[in-house]
Amino acid sequence: MPNSENGTVKPVSWATLSGRWSFGQEEVVYEGPNEGASVPYGLAVCNLQLRDGTVAATITFKSLQDASAGVVLGFRSESANYAVPQLGGHTKAYSIAEFEPGQGWRVIVAAGTITNLAVGKPYNLRVTLRGQKIRMAVDDVSIFEYILSTPLSGDQIGLYAFGQSEVRFEKVTAEDERPRAFVAMPFQEPFNTLYREVIKPEADERGFSVIRVDEISGPGIIFEDIKREIGEAKVVIAEITAPNQNVFYELGYAHALNKPTILLAQRGKELPFDIKSYRVIFYDDTIGGKPEVERNLRKHLHAILKDL
């Protein structure tokens, strides 16, 4: 991987989409908006892609008059949704904003006042994206942990700045990690065998980190564990053969987040009415049925990865 140091990667090329920028090996500078721009902002994307992982940058403001700056997550195009965890913006010290096509910018969480920030001081911004959960820290102090209401459209990362004055970005790096697959199913046979011999190895081979609730260790409330793991997952795989209330709760929470789901059920079983409209991978609970469910699950996981 180019420019890799200690598991992190540095951008090697940039594309300016708005504003005036200069790009160097050690720093990127937002010099100001395009001449005559009605909205004074800058947007630049780099060659790095990040499904899940961490983006970091050191940000220094020359002025804080109507200014903000941050990193871009989940970019696909300016006609698709993406998120910007940032310093400044809307009179706040810290915020996460999301761009929605046809709606424009929406601040989804904010804290502090911009008067708490200082001109000329380098701020170390570190943002971790897992599934739809964004964690934002500044100077190693945790600020936000927020779950987006819908998945981001793309996987490109970049930089964003707002205002008339210069903003300096240094130590821009990214660290990729495996996307997560959350598995919802009863913890009994024959489903345990299906998980152990089919679901987990297939998802692992496709590049996912696989988790089931019963594998989570440590203190805490299971309900909160479930919400956290589903929020951090890129896909939810649910075995819905048995009318299990826990499984359908987990599936419902995933659907509420508009998260990609893969449904499995034994062939010949009657499914609930409100599930029949969803695409389901049906399989035979036999030795001969194993290759078929492996093949279909592999196709679905591959399609989801292509869409991320």
All residues at 6 or more sequence positions from 138 whose CB lies less than 8 Å from its CB, including other chains: 87, 94, 123, 124, 125, 126
Tokens of 258: 């508009």
In the chain, DSSP finds a helix count (H) and a strand count (E) of 5, 21
Asked if 159 and 172 touch (Cβ cutoff 8 Å), the reply is yes
Cβ–Cβ contacts within 10 Å for residue 49, how many? 14
Closest by CA to 199, choosing from 220, 181, 215, is 181
State the pLDDT confidence band at 210, using cuts at 50, 70 and 90. very high
* CA 181/CA 296 separation, integer angstroms: 16
Query: Backbone phi, then psi, for 187, in 5-degree steps?
Result: -95, 65
**pLDDT score of 8:** 87
* CA 174/CA 273 separation, integer angstroms: 44
**pLDDT score of 144:** 94
1 pLDDT more than 60: no
pLDDT in tens, 123-142: 999 999 999 999 999 999 99
**pLDDT score of 3:** 45
Tokens of 136: 């934002």
* CA 209/CA 165 separation, integer angstroms: 42
* CA 43/CA 20 separation, integer angstroms: 9
What are the structural domains, with CATH classification, of the chain?
4-177 (2.60.120.560), 180-307 (3.40.50.450)
**pLDDT score of 258:** 94
Residues 152-173: what's their mean pLDDT? 96
Asked if 64 and 162 touch (Cβ cutoff 8 Å), the reply is no
280 pLDDT more than 60: yes
Helices (H), 124-270: 191-194, 200-205, 222-232, 245-256
Report the share of the chain in percent with pLDDT over 70: 94
